[in-house]
């Protein structure tokens, strides 16, 4: 099953008879290329159905939670609908970071009937409203309209430049030229590592491109304003990489041995992913996968820790140098002052070294050398430890691969079914909050006066834009919208029977 070691396993038998190769070839074709891929397909299909069922159960669980909370929050005066006072009270516990303005906007968003109180059907959307961040919609005025005339002229010029249709294309070309310059630098030879890094990350070409990219950042921040500029993930990435490039140039000029900052210049090339939709899908898949990768990473760490502790208990204290003399793996553990096989370093003396050894086993390249080494040095039964570790890692990594495939398939299907306009509607909600609505919601006179002085100075209504996070849960609501309707109808039918 471990095809990385296939030649080393087969060749001794192959040297005795060429016919023995048929056994190894047939075994590898059946197990590796058929059964392993079949197992991946089964895990993938199972993982997909589990994800869908988990989303359905979570959705129905939230619906039941809303139903139970709604019953507890009703009053005798209004036994069928929830007032703003009760809504405000429960939100102080469930979402304490939400301000009074946010609570008003959320209540207005949920109260689609406009009656001033929430029905149970409206209250079902509470989880969605809490997820959104609400911002007042400013008038069509730039951020610098209150600045001095000189600042206004500078920012207006910057805004006009970045609004030019070919502005972004110019910097895409500069990014491509930056990549070509890096290739040219990499092909040159230098007398030392420090000189090579200095020429690569602090040479005249680096300074030229860095000045261009710094100019781009400055123009966009002046023309768009800091809040609007940093609301884009790509702009934030450009800022970090550009700022890191400036730090790299300065630090290399002052400390030539600080070669680690060389990574900032190549990172700029990732911006070219923005040009191709398929590349953006890859980045989008990584964003969707990030919570799952964290969970898988935690599982891997727990598994590594578990096997590391067992390995330290079983194999700590064994010196693997020259441990396998007279065996077919003797050369791997041969230790002499001038030449060594280096496999003697794969030991379990402490937690850190044990984790490194287990990672080498995860790669499974010549893993049988480590296993047979301990089988020779300790006991033949120690092979069970390494086989179990390999089986565990194979299952976990297969699940990780299946999750990556499922997330990428989900992303592609979502893009095919959803236009850019539909996605904007999905991720954003716009509502209008009027002063009459606030008076209908809030019964306390002092609170009304506070809201009027804080929000409605000189205006009778305010528009708010709510933004949902671009995560898997939100996108699933779009993908499974027809199924959600069916699930809700089934849940409502069950409620009526009860």
Give the pLDDT confidence of 185-232 residue by residue, as tens digits: 888 888 888 888 888 888 888 889 999 999 999 999 988 888 788 877
Which tops the pLDDT comparison, 322 or 40?
322
The interaxial angle of helices 383-417 and 351-363, nearest 10 deg, is 70
The Cβ of residue 349 has, within 10 Å, a number of other Cβ atoms equal to 14
The per-residue pLDDT for 385 is: 93
Which tops the pLDDT comparison, 87 or 397?
87
Task: State yes or no: pLDDT of 1 exceeds 60.
Answer: no
Sequence-distant (6+) residues with CB within 8 A of 1 are 31, 32, 36, 394
**Rg, C-alpha atoms of the chain:** 31
* CATH code assigned to 164-275: 1.20.120.350
How confident is residue 418, by pLDDT bands cut at 50, 70 and 90?
low
The CATH number corresponding to 50-139+421-497 among 3.30.70.260, 1.10.238.10, 3.10.129.10, 3.40.718.10 equals 1.10.238.10
**pLDDT tens digit string along 44-75?**
777 778 878 888 898 899 899 988 888 888 87
Task: State yes or no: pLDDT of 134 exceeds 80.
Answer: yes
The per-residue pLDDT for 305 is: 93
| Cα end-to-end span (Å), the chain | 55
Query: Average model confidence (pLDDT) for the chain?
Result: 81
**Contact yes or no for 249/202 (Cβ under 8 A):** yes
Percentage of the chain lying above the pLDDT 90 cut: 9
CATH topology of domain 291-417: Helix Hairpins (1.10.287)
Mean pLDDT of 388-398: 84
How confident is residue 4, by pLDDT bands cut at 50, 70 and 90?
low
Q: Report how far residue 354's alpha carbon sits from residue 307's, in angstroms, rounded to the nearest whole number.
A: 9
Task: State yes or no: pLDDT of 285 exceeds 60.
Answer: yes
CA 424, 428, 431, 433 torsion-angle sign:
negative
The per-residue pLDDT for 309 is: 94
**pLDDT tens digit string along 427-481?**
788 888 887 888 888 877 777 777 666 666 556 678 888 888 777 777 777 777 7
Bridge partners of residue 340, in order along the sequence: 335
pTM of the model: 0.59
The per-residue pLDDT for 8 is: 65
Q: Report how far residue 254's alpha carbon sits from residue 130's, in angstroms, rounded to the nearest whole number.
A: 49
DSSP state of 139: P
Q: How many helices and strands (H and E) does the chain possess?
A: 24, 3
Task: State yes or no: pLDDT of 424 exceeds 70.
Answer: no
Give the least confident one: 96-110, 296-310, 389-403, 445-459: 445-459
């Amino acid at each position: 099953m471990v095809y990385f070691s296939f030649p080393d396993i087969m060749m001794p038998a192959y040297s005795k008879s060429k016919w023995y190769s048929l056994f190894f070839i047939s075994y590898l074709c059946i197990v590796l290329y058929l059964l392993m891929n079949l197992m991946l397909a089964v895990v993938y299909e199972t993982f997909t159905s589990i994800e869908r069922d988990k989303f359905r159960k979570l959705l129905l669980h939230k619906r039941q939670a809303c139903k139970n909370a709604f019953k507890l929050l009703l009053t005798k005066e209004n036994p069928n609908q929830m007032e703003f006072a009760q809504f405000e009270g429960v939100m102080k516990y469930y979402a304490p970071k939400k301000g009074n303005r946010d609570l008003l906007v959320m209540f207005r968003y949920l109260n689609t009937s406009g009656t001033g109180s929430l029905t149970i059907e409206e209250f079902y959307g509470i989880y969605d409203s809490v997820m959104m961040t609400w911002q007042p919609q400013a008038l069509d005025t730039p951020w610098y309209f209150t600045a001095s005339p000189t600042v206004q002229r500078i920012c207006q010029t910057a805004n006009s430049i970045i609004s030019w249709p070919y502005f972004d294309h110019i910097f895409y070309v500069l990014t491509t030229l930056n990549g070509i310059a890096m290739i040219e630098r990499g092909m040159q030879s230098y007398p030392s590592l420090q000189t090579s890094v200095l020429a690569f990350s602090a040479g005249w070409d680096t300074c030229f491109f860095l000045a261009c990219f710094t100019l781009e950042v400055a123009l966009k921040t002046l023309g768009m304003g800091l809040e609007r500029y940093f609301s884009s993930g790509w702009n934030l990435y450009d800022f970090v990489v550009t700022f890191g490039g400036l730090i790299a140039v300065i630090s290399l000029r002052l400390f030539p041995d600080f070669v680690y900052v060389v990574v900032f210049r190549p990172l700029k090339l990732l911006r070219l992913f923005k040009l191709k939709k398929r590349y953006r899908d890859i980045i989008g898949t990584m964003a969707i996968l990030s919570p799952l990768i964290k969970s898988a990473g935690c599982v891997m760490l727990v598994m590594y820790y578990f096997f590391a502790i067992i390995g330290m208990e079983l194999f700590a204290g064994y010196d693997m140098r020259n441990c396998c003399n007279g065996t077919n793996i003797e050369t791997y553990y041969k230790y002499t002052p001038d030449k060594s096989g280096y496999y003697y370093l794969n030991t379990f003396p402490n937690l850190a070294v044990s984790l490194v050894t287990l990672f080498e086993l995860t790669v499974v390249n010549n893993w049988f050398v480590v296993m047979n080494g301990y089988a020779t040095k300790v006991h033949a039964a120690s092979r069970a430890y390494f086989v179990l570790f390999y089986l565990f890692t194979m299952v976990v990594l297969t699940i990780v691969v299946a999750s990556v495939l499922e997330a990428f398939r989900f992303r592609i299907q979502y893009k095919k079914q959803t236009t850019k306009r539909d996605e904007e509607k999905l991720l954003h909600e716009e509502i209008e909050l009027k002063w009459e609505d606030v008076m209908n919601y809030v019964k306390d006179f002092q609170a009304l006066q506070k809201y009027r002085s804080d929000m409605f100075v000189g205006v009778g209504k305010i528009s708010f834009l709510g933004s949902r996070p671009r995560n898997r849960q939100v996108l699933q609501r779009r993908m499974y919208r027809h199924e959600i309707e069916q699930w809700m109808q089934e849940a409502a039918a069950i409620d009526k029977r009860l």
